[in-house]
Each structure stands twice: as structure tokens, then as C-alpha cells.
Amino acid sequence: MTDVALVHTEACLTIARSPAEVWAVLSDFHRAPLWIKNTLLKLEGELREGAELYFSFPKHPRFPGRLTRLRPLEEFGISFATRDFVFTLRELSPNQTEVCVSLQTPVYPRFGSEQTERGNLKICQAMLRQLQGVVEGEKHV
């Protein structure tokens, strides 16, 4: 059995909303297609740590995954395929939340570690921008 080389990437962004407002979007599976960067059509499953999830993409209508971490207002983790995402929230002020996303994947041999890491960073940054747009675009509670 060979060891698989892993790449760990992290990106952070400040969202002009409270942790509760960010969490409301992050943990609502119906809104996941609005911020999960890819071609996600639907996310189904139970909001419970360890729960099996199903990601629906155009070519993969029921792709399995898992809810790996669930600490309300603090940490949210999902995994599917070879990707493990963990979102962490930190209140900076009552209306400012730092959201970080870390992504761990194997090094894709076709790309090598540097190119895999650059690609993963772009994915993380895009997801954060999308999440920011959804959260800040909603009416302030």
C-alpha cells in the first residue's frame, strides 16, 4: 500500500454579516448550489455530523459525500470525491465574520503538487466569494 501525498490549502475572507447569518446560508443545503463552486444542482442529506450527503451534478445525479464536521456558528465540514472542505467562522465584530475554508486533496499526478495547490486555492477563493455574495445579498436581519 502506497502513501498518498496530500495538499492542504486555506483561504479566508471577511463577510459583512454576523456568524449566525453566515451559518444560516452555509448550513442550508437548499442554498448550497448558490455558493458551492462547480455545477452543483442539489445537495441532500441530514444536518448531522457524520451524515451521508448526496451531491447532484449534471453528469453525476447522486454523488455520495459526508458531513464531516458540524459545530454550529464555528465549523462546517463536507467531503466528496477526493475533496475535504472545512469552513471555520470567527466573529470579528457583531457584523463582521472571518470565514476560512481549508481544502485537502491528494496531489493529482497529472498536475503535480504546486499546480494542484494553485487550483485548490482558486476553488477555495471562488467558494468564499460566492458565499459572501449570497450572505451579503440577503436582507440584513
Report CA 53 to chain centroid distance, whole Å.
Answer: 13
Report CA 138 to chain centroid distance, whole Å.
Answer: 19
Average pLDDT rounded to a whole number, residues 92-102: 96
Q: CA-CA distance, 98 to 75, in Å (whole number)?
A: 12
Four-point Cα dihedral 5, 123, 55, 79, nearest 10? 40
What is the model's pLDDT at position 31? Answer: 93
- pLDDT bracket for residue 94 (50, 70, 90): very high
What is the model's pLDDT at position 54? Answer: 95
Average pLDDT over the chain, rounded to whole? Answer: 91
Strand order from edge to edge, sheet including 96-106: 6-15, 96-106, 83-93, 75-80, 60-71, 52-57, 42-45
- pLDDT bracket for residue 108 (50, 70, 90): confident
Checking DSSP bridges between strand 83-93 and strand 42-45, what pairing results, if any? unpaired
What is the model's pLDDT at position 95? Answer: 95
pLDDT at 1 over 80: no
